[in-house]
Structure 1
Amino acid sequence: MELEQILITDLKEVESTIVSKLGEAGFISIESIAITPMNELMEKTGISNETAAKLLHKVRDIIGLEYITALEFYKKKQNAQRLTTGSNNLDRLLGGGIEMRAITEFIGEFGAGKSQICMQLCVTSQKPLEQGGLGGKVLFIDTEGTFSPQRIHDIAEARDLEPRKILENIIYVRCYNSDHQIFIVNKAAKVIEAEKIKLIVVDSIIGHFRGEYVGKEMLIKRQQLLNQHIHRLLRLAELYNCSVVITNQIQSNPSAFVFGDPNRPAGGNVVAHASTHRLYIRKSKKNIRVIQVIDSPYLPE
């Protein structure tokens, strides 16, 4: 079910000075307020603890963040729209396609095909609901310079879609460092609301953080920032009823020196706990890719 957007100017019981501070801080709708932690709301607007608490309580009450039974939740999951990947085998592995209001993570080494899947999803997501799409636009956050408009053009053309229209419906942003990446996601609510975004892609989630926070002494800070970053993505997915797809790199796994996979996903437990579904892509013979579900609440591994 889609939320009817309510602007902060529509909140009649909120003082005009507070509304003005919210607007100056970039909060346009009550949805953008609802997903913001209270300490962050206070920091960005300069409002008091008491005012922030009352405001959050009010907007979350309007949106209807309420208790439901497990049966109701089950029915919502069963009836939720899924995004086709364009591959019948991958769709079956995912239980029908990419889940809405969730984070799907594709993990693999360089050249495994993570970015290709992301670009294919940019095309399939724009197809109508009855054809397995989401009928909406895409926000593509490119942290490694892997996005290829030409590849999007070719995929669209191969699927008998209009390449120019497909490209027009992809909102693209290139991120050059982790601060920029965090900033883009923090401001994403405004773009999602204005452009009716239904798919958010971050390719990749971890690259800048690994390159900028080096050494054990920086690990705690890196993981804290990464945790906040990826959970904001999850809140955006849940509140705006869209899909989030992220890619992740691999790193060496010293504990599996003799037995097991010598590689493991980067990002540690922070990324592992935040991602809803984790899929590992491996290269095989004759340009074939093997994809395995390595973690999911309900998909078999």
Structure 2
Amino acid sequence: MDEMLGGGVQSMSITEVFGEFRCGKTQLCHTLCVAAQLPKELGGAEGKVAFIDTEGTFRPERIKSIAARFGVDGDACLENISYARALNSEHQIELAEQLGNQLADGSFRLLIVDSIMAGFRVDYSGRGELNERQQKLNQHLSCLTRLSEDYNIAIFLTNQVQSDPGASSLFAATDGRKPVGGHVLAHASATRILLRKGRGEERVAKLQDSPNMPERECVYVIGEGGIKDST
């Protein structure tokens, strides 16, 4: 996946992964929480991680098992993760706006939001509230983009999918599904990756949009120690 992305998750921009339930989005987040703290010679960023959890999917024990795979202390890894549970979309927006105070010390390298649209989909339902939802989402994404640029950090978002009955054969790779959030989220995300299930524990990641890399796929496995090459 690092090779597909041209070295890894890019800083000073937003990377979005989307896919259906149980395709491995949160597992990728947990792996990144540890990988971002590794020394640079091991592909890490030697920095702390901020994690905004909108669905209650963060698991400290998962961090410890992934840390063990990399040969680092699990408790130390958890201490370097600044975690917050967002209760709704307004709370999610407030948490992002308050992050500037923490990020200012320069020790953070990654901000994860898992997932970006869950709260917005609950708080704004139906076509009558779609315009207001997109305006709020746009403001939130502008804040995240500003944080990434001001503090030179990578922003990693997970996103859900929805059925797209009007999808043509050109989009057959998405299996009739598309990421939620519309054009607002599409324009904000510099890099977009589709995740889907493969055989057994295999997962397939398809790079659909990137500012500097061609469209391509990679296959990886989700194991006890997080994600790893399928070989």
Q: TM-score by structure 2 length?
A: 0.89
Structure 1 residue 195, shift from structure 2 partner:
7.1
The superposition leaves residues 21-44 of structure 1 with CA deviations (integer Å, 9 ceiling, x where unpaired) of: xxxxxxxxxxxxxxxxxxxxxxxx
Structure 1 residue 160, shift from structure 2 partner:
0.6
Distance in 2 (alpha carbons) for counterparts of 1:265 and 1:124: 26
| Structure 1 unpaired stretches of 5+ | 1-89
Q: Which amino acid in 2 is paired with 1:118? A: C
Choose from 139, 144, 149 the match for 1:228: 139
The superposition leaves residues 161-207 of structure 1 with CA deviations (integer Å, 9 ceiling, x where unpaired) of: 01111011000000110010000001110111247211100000000
Alignment of 1:272 onto 2:186? yes
Q: Look up the match of 2:82.
A: 171
Contact kept in structure 1, 2:106 and 2:151, CA below 8 Å: no
Distance in 2 (alpha carbons) for counterparts of 1:232 and 1:257: 34
Distance in 2 (alpha carbons) for counterparts of 1:199 and 1:226: 20
Q: Look up the match of 1:282.
A: 196
Q: Look up the match of 2:6.
A: 95
Distance in 2 (alpha carbons) for counterparts of 1:284 and 1:134: 29
Q: Look up the match of 2:153.
A: 242
Q: How does 1:118-137 map to 2 (within 5 A)?
A: 118-137=29-48
Contact kept in structure 1, 2:54 and 2:118, CA below 8 Å: yes
Which structure is richer in relative contact order (CA contacts within 8 A, separation 6 or more)? 2
Percent pairwise identity: 47
The superposition leaves residues 98-142 of structure 1 with CA deviations (integer Å, 9 ceiling, x where unpaired) of: 111111111011111001011100001001222211111110000
**Larger strand proportion of the pair:** 2
Distance in 1 (alpha carbons) for counterparts of 2:150 and 2:51: 18
Alignment of 1:180 onto 2:91? yes
Q: Look up the match of 2:103.
A: 192
The total of aligned residue pairs comes to 212
Q: Which amino acid in 2 is paired with 1:236? A: L
Distance in 2 (alpha carbons) for counterparts of 1:92 and 1:131: 14
| Structure 2 unpaired stretches of 5+ | 216-231
User: Runs of 4+ in structure 1 displaced over 4 angstroms?
Assistant: none
Q: Look up the match of 1:64.
A: none
Match of 1:95, SS state, is coil
Superposed CA RMSD: 1.3
More divergent stretch after superposition (187-196 vs 229-238): 187-196
Q: Which amino acid in 2 is paired with 1:290? A: V
Q: TM-score by structure 1 length?
A: 0.68
Distance in 2 (alpha carbons) for counterparts of 1:256 and 1:104: 24
Distance in 1 (alpha carbons) for counterparts of 2:200 and 2:93: 39
Q: Which amino acid in 1 is paired with 2:199? A: K
**Alpha-carbon spacing, 1:195–1:299, altered in 2? closer, same or farther (3 Å):** closer
